[in-house]
Structure formats: C-alpha cells, structure tokens
Structure 1
Amino acid sequence: MDELVSLTYRSRARLADPTAQIVQIMRAARVRNLRLGITGILLYNGVHFVQTIEGPRAACDELFRLISADPRHQEILAFGFERIAARRFPDWSMRIVSREELRALAPGLERLDLSGPEDVTELHRTIAARLSRGDAAANG
C-alpha cells in the first residue's frame, strides 16, 4: 500500500472568470480526486490559491504535476509535504473555501500572510475545526 502523504502549495490564481472557473475546477477535482483517493481543501482569497491535498503518495505526485502544468496557476510554491498517519480532511474529495467564507471562519486571516507552512497549518486547524462542528452542507 502506498504511504499516505499531505502536500500543501500556494499559487497565484490566473482566472479570467473566477466564479465560473472555480466551479469548473471543483467539478473536475471532485471526480478526479475520488478516483485517485485524494481528499483536501482549497482556499481562495481572490489572489492566491492555497491547497492541501492528501492521499497516496503516487496520486498526490500525479495531481501536483497536473496542477503545476495548469495555466490557471502561476508562481507555485510547494511546502508542507509530509507523511501523515490520518487525513485531516477525510470527508472532502475537494472542499473550496471562498474569500467570504474565509473571513467568516477565520476572522484573524488578515494577520496571516499564508507564505509559510506555520500560517497555513494554523489556518487549516481553524477551518477544519469550525467546519466539522456544524457545516454538514459543506462536505463535498
């Protein structure tokens, strides 16, 4: 069995029509990630994507290669690659958290620059805890 890993990256979003393209990204991701055994969360603040994918190492490597070649992403910075014993986002084939939802879930977000693993780890903890407490409709 392939080891379970988590990979986090940040990229600058290149979206001509953000609303339509994010819907398109999510639809494709949910189908592909289910097939690959990948779960995760995608944060979008209007400028950057910060995404964590988790699953079998080979599947995460394959998905990151696809993301790296996707013209909707530029200035990709990968960090936070680690082996994990359990998934942090086991119920989400891919969950997007929009700019508005980020503000509601993490009011202190403006103090985080999301440029390093510490900020992203703290943000993930906050979001996962708050969503798992009562956002059943958010699972996807």
Structure 2
Amino acid sequence: MLSQYLYISTAPTLGRDEVESILAASARNNPARGITGLLLFNGRNFLQLLEGEEGEVAALMETITADPRHAGVSVLDCRTIAERACPNWAMKRVMIAESIDSRRETLERDLPQGLDPEVRKMIVNFAVLN
C-alpha cells in the first residue's frame, strides 16, 4: 500500500551546504527504499512530500523526527495513494523564487501534475508565506 506524507519543520540555522548534503543523501538512499518526493526549503523551514510503501515512509518519518538538524516536525497530511505524484524524483528540490509574486507561478509550473489539489494548495501556501 502506497502512502504519502507532507510535513513541515523548522531549521533556522541550517546552511545551504547542509541542505545540499541532505538532498544528496536522499538521492543516494531513497531509491533503495522505494521513496520518492520533493523538498522545499525557504531558509528557515522545510516542507517535504514523501511517498512510498507505508512501512518505509513511516520509518523514514521516525528518522526525520529524530534528526537534530531541525525541530518542530509537523505532519500536515498523510494519506493512502493509488499512484505516486513524483514517481521519478528520488528527492527533488523545488526552488522557491525570490520574488513572492513569482512563487505561485513557478511552483504551479514545477510541481508534479499528479498531486492532489489539496496537497498542491498546501505546498503553494507554504511557499508564498515568506
């Protein structure tokens, strides 16, 4: 059974190099676990979408929650899905445009088409907050 989790967390002291390191580790480790998804980082907060077999995603969420590099992990959405929205993304970093005005447009273009409209709305709302 496939599951999809969407969570946010706070990491105000995380530098660009550390974010790149997290993405590299995800690209290395996620394919073997059958996990796909996307990651947004606005300089202070993460928003991450994870998809995969329920047991694998739940185990990864435990690891993420215990990771000292960020705090306040809060699951925004957790659902069973029939198919992945990000089947080819081991973990794609979705860039947030500098201009708040262009963020919505950029995300609408870059987010996968298969995302549930409700999940898409949460991701876009996160990105336009700053």
- Shorter-chain TM range is 0.7 to 0.9
1:100 has 2:97 as partner: yes
| Paired-residue identity, % | 32
Q: TM-score, normalised by structure 1?
A: 0.71
Q: Whole-Å Cα distance in 2 between the matches of residues 25 and 35 of structure 1?
A: 16
1:34 has 2:31 as partner: yes
The structure 1 segments of at least 4 consecutive aligned residues displaced by more than 2 Å after TM superposition are 98-105, 118-121
Distance change (3 Å), C-alpha of 1:120 and 1:46: farther
Distance change (3 Å), C-alpha of 1:30 and 1:43: same
Write the letter of the residue equivalent to 1:84.
I
Q: Whole-Å Cα distance in 2 between the matches of residues 119 and 58 of structure 1?
A: 24
Q: Where does the alignment leave 5 or more consecutive residues of structure 2 unmatched?
A: 108-116, 125-130
Q: Where does the alignment leave 5 or more consecutive residues of structure 1 unmatched?
A: 110-117, 126-140
Q: CA deviation at 1:99?
A: 3.1
Aligned length: 115
Q: Whole-Å Cα distance in 1 between the matches of residues 13 and 56 of structure 2?
A: 25
Q: CA deviation at 1:75?
A: 1.0
Distance change (3 Å), C-alpha of 1:78 and 1:123: closer
Q: Whole-Å Cα distance in 1 between the matches of residues 47 and 99 of structure 2?
A: 12
Q: TM-score, normalised by structure 2?
A: 0.76
